[in-house]
Amino acid sequence: MKATTRASLTTIQAQDPLPSWNDGKAKRSITAFVAKVTKEGSPDFVPVAERIATFDNDGTLWCEQPMPVQFYFALDRMQALAPQHPEWKDKEPFASLLKGDVKTALAGGDRALLELMTATHAGMTTVEFEQIVKDWIATAKYPKFQQPYTACVYQPMVKLLSYLRANGFKTFIVSAGGIEFMRAWVEKVYGIPPEQIVGSSIKTKFEMRDGKPVLVRLPELSFYDENDGKAIGINQHIGRRPIAAFGNSDGDREMLEYTKAGAGARLAMLVLHDDAAREYAYGPAQGLPDTEMGAFTPALYEQAKKDGWTVISMKDDWKPVFAFDP
């Protein structure tokens, strides 16, 4: 890049570091926060090494309705594996799922979900699983928009990730989603490397196959990265308290509380899905009933107001939502 080009880009950026965000309280809380923690000599200055920002994924960085993307992956995997499992025809949650009846299948609660997830996510090596996810995500499409899932990421949030990194932040994902499911595509889409992804995981087993070590994925939950698990996962994985955290549901509550409890300037934000025209309206926006997965409850909304967490209105705060026109 020529020096002159770089200089003019810098000028544009200085004028508006987040052009995909409408001017408003949300955008101003981000830019004001970044300005004060990056200003040397300011009482709120934070050294680069401590500029940790954590992001939930489903509903915060990409779509999660009517079901989280990984659930679509699990259903497609189940269909692919069904011929090898004739017993699934009489066994829940598979029997209902094979008939397309998600509601009955998930009436079995967490246990039914865990059964589906382990049956479709375990039994192969980590290298094989990565390839399965890569192959799937390269072709599968999000039903609502008929776009690749990786196109259904929120542009203003992708720009926010870049903006934070340009200001010395290390950006992490902290999601209830599967850590290895995310790692297969996240780096390309968000610019976040695998070592900065915290998620739920199943156990793995070290094994020698043809004289080479492999890690085999076992049908047993190792860690569930949701609610208190997010604070625990952050401590375990990052070992440093974030100074900024972004979520959209009750599952992110403890991450935001943990972030805000540190000394000095802190930023906690929640994405509110209030844009039925361009995506969905659910949670306090009332357009769609809360689901077990991805609930933004009225209680969370109240806590946000009380504790100074900034709510991002998809409708009012974001210029585009996606890179495509929804």
Interaction site with a second copy (CB under 8 A)? 49, 52, 126, 170, 179-180, 183, 187, 193-197, 201, 204-206, 212-213, 215, 222, 228, 231-232, 235-240, 254, 257-258, 261
Q: Which residue lies nearer to a second copy by CB, 61 or 202?
A: 202
- 273 contacts 281 by C-beta, under 8 angstroms: yes
Rounded to a whole number of angstroms, the minimum distance from the CB of residue 186 to a second copy is 10
| Least separation in angstroms between CB 299 and a second copy | 15
Q: Give Cα separations from 139 to 119, 149, 214 (angstroms).
A: 22, 9, 27
What is the smallest separation between the CB atom of 27 and a second copy, expressed in angstroms? Answer: 28
Tell me how far CA of residue 290 lies from CA of 66, 229, 256, 277, 285, in angstroms.
10, 21, 20, 18, 10
* Choice between 175 and 201, CB closer to a second copy: 201
Residue placing its CB nearer to a second copy in the complex, 16 or 228? 228
Q: Are 241 and 52 in contact (CB under 8 A)?
A: yes
Nearer to a second copy, 47 or 83 (CB): 47
Q: Closest CB to a second copy among 18 and 161?
A: 161
Helix, coil or strand: residue 142: strand
Closest CB to a second copy among residues 8, 131: 131
Q: Assign 172 to helix, strand or coil.
A: strand
Specify the 3-state DSSP secondary structure of 209: strand
Provide the token pair at 261: 């409890």
Contact 273, 279 (CB under 8 A): yes
First to last CA, the chain: 33
Least CB distance from residue 228 to a second copy, whole Å? 4
Taking the complex as a whole, the smallest distance from the CB of residue 48 to a second copy amounts, in Å, to: 10
Q: Determine the 3-state secondary structure of 56 from DSSP.
A: coil
Rounded to a whole number of angstroms, the minimum distance from the CB of residue 53 to a second copy is: 12
User: Which residue lies nearer to a second copy by CB, 61 or 97?
Assistant: 61
CB of 197 to a second copy, least distance (A): 6
Q: Where are the alpha helices (H) located in the chain, listed in sequence order?
A: 3-15, 25-38, 69-81, 94-98, 102-106, 109-121, 126-139, 155-166, 179-183, 186-190, 228-237, 253-260, 298-307, 314-317
